[in-house]
Amino acid sequence: MMTLAPRRSWTIAAASIMTMAALVGCTPPKATYAFRASPLEADHAVALTGDEIMGRGRAPEQWVDVASGRALTERFPEVGAMEVDGIGDEIKRYSRDDEGRWFLESVDAIGDRSRSEFSPALGMAPARLVPGEIMTAEAQMRVTYLKSGEARTQGPSRRTLEHGGAMLAELPTGPAVVQLVKVRFESTMTSAQAIHVSELYVLPGVGPVAERTSDLVRVFGLRLRESNHEFVRDLQGTAVRR
């Protein structure tokens, strides 16, 4: 097990974490599809780089919410700059150090009118993750109002990243051997708790090609919001839906 500590930051970038909402475009679905993945023998499992886990350097692409067929637009330019447009309007700022390790600096949740800052920057991916390895990272999370900067709430956050081995995934373009990365993020604020769990399916040399997510928000111990999503990368211009 390893713990990340932030090093020199390279770039600031953008994406989403607080509400973990699906980001919607306007491309209509073109095919009926159901995402499936099944485990493979251990000899199919390979190590992943942080750049592969985060998808650094991949060309502009389309993702699709499997359940609804709604298209997602994602741009990931060079040097780790990520921008995501759509419902949710969240901006996540990353940094990457000289060793290739990734960190989360802050998140702007436009709809919630809040900014979350992590101190130290929260580890997102190591330079290299081998099969069976677990990475843990902890940080203090401070939430402020976007406009005024006034303090809203704060508390500890914890993120774990585990290499879950090789999987055979049914993608829109056909079956592919991918690597499973399991993610769990928890934050405990003054009166609320947020839990995000995801399974990220990474194609070596390409980056993430599918993801399953589950999100739960509790306020004063009561379930306020719960959601589950599946996303698949549109590899050849084929939007998909279940």
Is 63 in contact with 239 (CB distance < 8 Å)?
A: no
- Per-residue pLDDT, averaged over 50-59, amounts to 78
Tell me whether residue 5 is in a domain.
Answer: no
Structure tokens at 138: 């902890």
Tell me whether residue 44 is in a domain.
Answer: yes
Tell me whether residue 13 is in a domain.
Answer: no
What phi and psi values does residue 206 have, to the nearest 5 degrees?
Answer: -120, -50
Q: What is the mean pLDDT of the chain?
A: 78
Tell me whether residue 194 is in a domain.
Answer: yes
Is 151 in contact with 144 (CB distance < 8 Å)?
A: yes
- Per-residue pLDDT, averaged over 33-53, amounts to 92
Tell me whether residue 128 is in a domain.
Answer: yes
Tell me whether residue 149 is in a domain.
Answer: yes
What phi and psi values does residue 4 have, to the nearest 5 degrees?
Answer: -90, 140
- Interatomic CA distance for residues 187 and 138, integer angstroms: 10
- Interatomic CA distance for residues 90 and 107, integer angstroms: 7
Tell me whether residue 2 is in a domain.
Answer: no
| Total tally of structural domains belonging to the chain | 1
Residue % of the chain over a pLDDT of 90: 47
- Which residue pairs, CB below 8 angstroms and at least 24 apart, start in 174-179? 176/203, 176/209, 177/40, 177/44, 178/37, 178/202, 178/203, 178/209, 178/210, 179/45, 179/46, 179/48, 179/131, 179/203, 179/204
Is 10 in contact with 79 (CB distance < 8 Å)?
A: yes
Residue 75 pLDDT class (50, 70, 90 cuts): very low
Tell me whether residue 116 is in a domain.
Answer: yes
Q: What CATH number has the domain bearing residue 152? A: 2.40.360
Task: Note down the domain range covering 55.
Answer: 23-241
- CA dihedral sign, ordered 139, 210, 239, 56: positive
C-alpha pair distances (Å), 203 with each of 42, 169, 178, 207, 214: 16, 10, 5, 5, 21
pLDDT digits (tens, 9 = 90+) for 95-154: 889 999 999 999 888 878 899 999 999 999 999 999 999 999 999 999 999 999 999 999
